């Protein structure tokens, strides 16, 4: 029997609908599923400790030759509620931002929006997981994931939902993460498994929300609304356009070294490939 594929997922609520099937035994004979923060997943994939990972999309600019699985991601088309800039002062007056230690994509998104929307380029510093510590060392802090969703912001702070601002300004969704793999790892069987896992998760949103605990406490109303209304799991033509725009904006601000080529996994030319090729996001030589 061939060795199992090592698949890594983000350890947040918004991951659970994507991995639900696999976490409940789907393709257990072929895959080994583990969890970590986004930054750790990127490091493990780069070190070849993982074959496939639900990776922050900014890592496509940092790790060469990665492919993404068509159709699946963690995306938004408006407010996310889980990727925030929390500030002690209005955004135009911010002089320093503490970056989230668990994030890379969201940290870059924040810097892009500060520059392009508010013409503000504050100093950035390494943040802590405790928001109070961050706001004592900087004017504002990037907060992502469950801690942003479930922990209320301190009184008398300004809260900016970064994906809401992105969509307001660009009229496009935003892609936070996608299933990524080293070239050639994804075959049709794995593609079907990943999509089947998401379909099972979509049917189980109410149960996922009911069972989920943050710091030992269930908050099913918040979790269900979040998964049903704010987070999406599709990655199609509009999302590919958004990724390209994001990468170009990040490169213009010298936040990444180059604009990565978006490579879609699988040799079979799918409708997602065709639409992306028509819009110039990939080339037909990728088939």
Biggest CA–CA distance in the chain, Å, is: 60
Q: What's 257's DSSP letter? A: S
- Each residue's pLDDT tens digit, 173-215: 999 999 999 888 999 999 999 999 999 999 999 999 999 999 8
Looking at the structure, tell me whether residues 162 and 45 fall in a common domain: no
Looking at the structure, tell me whether residues 64 and 180 fall in a common domain: yes
- Environment class of residue 156 by beta-carbon count within 10 Å: exposed (0-12), middle (13-18) or buried (19+)? exposed
- Each residue's pLDDT tens digit, 214-263: 989 999 999 999 999 999 999 999 999 999 999 999 999 999 999 999 99
Place 101 in a pLDDT band, splitting at 50, 70 and 90.
Answer: confident
CA-based torsion, 37, 146, 82, 94: positive or negative: negative
Residue 284 has pLDDT above 80, yes or no: no
Say which residue the tokens 């998760």 belong to: 201
Residues in the chain: 287
pTM of the predicted structure, to 2 decimals: 0.89
With H, G, I as helix, E, B as strand and everything else as coil, classify residue 259: coil
Looking at the structure, tell me whether residues 57 and 182 fall in a common domain: yes
Place 59 in a pLDDT band, splitting at 50, 70 and 90.
Answer: very high
Place 287 in a pLDDT band, splitting at 50, 70 and 90.
Answer: very low
Return the pLDDT at 39: 76
Domain boundary among 112, 139, 170: 170
Q: In this predicted model, which residue has the larger pLDDT, 278 or 234?
A: 234
Quote the number of domains for the chain: 2
Return the pLDDT at 282: 53
Domain boundary among 135, 170, 205: 170
Residue 98 near residue 128, CB atoms below 8 Å: yes
Phi, psi at 214, each rounded to 5°: -120, 120
Torsion-angle region of residue 139: left (phi > 0), alpha (psi -120 to 50) or beta? Answer: alpha
Mean of pLDDT over the chain: 91
Looking at the structure, tell me whether residues 166 and 106 fall in a common domain: yes
Domain boundary among 170, 195, 226: 170
* CB count in 10 Å sphere of residue 147: 18
Q: Where are the alpha helices (H) located in the chain, listed in sequence order?
A: 16-23, 38-46, 105-118, 131-137, 146-150, 162-170, 188-203, 205-211, 220-225, 237-252, 271-278
With H, G, I as helix, E, B as strand and everything else as coil, classify residue 134: helix
Looking at the structure, tell me whether residues 186 and 122 fall in a common domain: no
Looking at the structure, tell me whether residues 58 and 182 fall in a common domain: yes
CATH assignment of the domain containing 270: 3.40.190.10
Return the pLDDT at 1: 39
Return the pLDDT at 21: 97
Return the pLDDT at 185: 93
- Each residue's pLDDT tens digit, 104-151: 899 999 999 999 999 999 999 999 888 999 999 999 999 999 999 999
Looking at the structure, tell me whether residues 161 and 197 fall in a common domain: no
Looking at the structure, tell me whether residues 281 and 203 fall in a common domain: yes
Whole domain around residue 126: which residue ranges? Answer: 83-170
Q: Which of 157-161, 211-215, 278-282 has the lowest mean pLDDT?
A: 278-282
Place 157 in a pLDDT band, splitting at 50, 70 and 90.
Answer: very high
Return the pLDDT at 285: 39
């Amino acid at each position: 029997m061939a060795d199992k594929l090592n698949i890594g997922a983000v350890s947040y609520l918004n991951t659970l609908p994507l991995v639900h099937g696999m976490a409940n035994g789907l393709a257990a004979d072929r895959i080994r599923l583990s969890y970590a923060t986004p930054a750790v997943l990127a490091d493990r994939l780069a070190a070849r400790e993982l074959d496939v990972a639900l990776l922050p999309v900014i890592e496509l600019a940092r790790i060469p030759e990665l492919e993404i699985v068509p159709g699946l991601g963690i995306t938004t088309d408006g407010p996310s509620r889980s990727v925030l800039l929390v500030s002690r002062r209005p955004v135009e007056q911010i002089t320093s931002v503490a970056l989230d230690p668990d994030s890379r994509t969201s940290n870059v998104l924040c810097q892009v929006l500060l520059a392009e929307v508010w013409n503000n380029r504050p100093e950035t510093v390494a943040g802590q997981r405790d928001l109070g510590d961050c706001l004592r060392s900087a004017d504002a802090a990037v907060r992502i994931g469950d801690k942003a969703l479930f922990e209320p912001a301190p009184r008398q702070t300004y809260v900016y939902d970064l994906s809401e601002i992105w969509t307001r300004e660009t009229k496009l969704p935003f892609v936070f993460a996608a299933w990524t793999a080293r070239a050639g790892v994804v075959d049709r069987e794995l593609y079907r498994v990943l999509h089947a896992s998401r379909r099972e998760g979509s049917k189980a949103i109410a149960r996922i929300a009911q069972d989920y605990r943050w710091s030992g406490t269930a908050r099913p109303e918040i979790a269900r609304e979040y998964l049903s209304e704010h987070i999406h799991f599709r990655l199609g033509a509009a999302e590919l356009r958004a990724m390209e725009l994001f990468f170009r904006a990040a490169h213009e601000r010298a936040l990444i070294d180059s604009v990565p080529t978006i490579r879609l996994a699988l040799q079979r030319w799918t409708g997602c490939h065709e639409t992306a090729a028509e819009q110039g996001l990939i080339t037909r030589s990728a088939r």
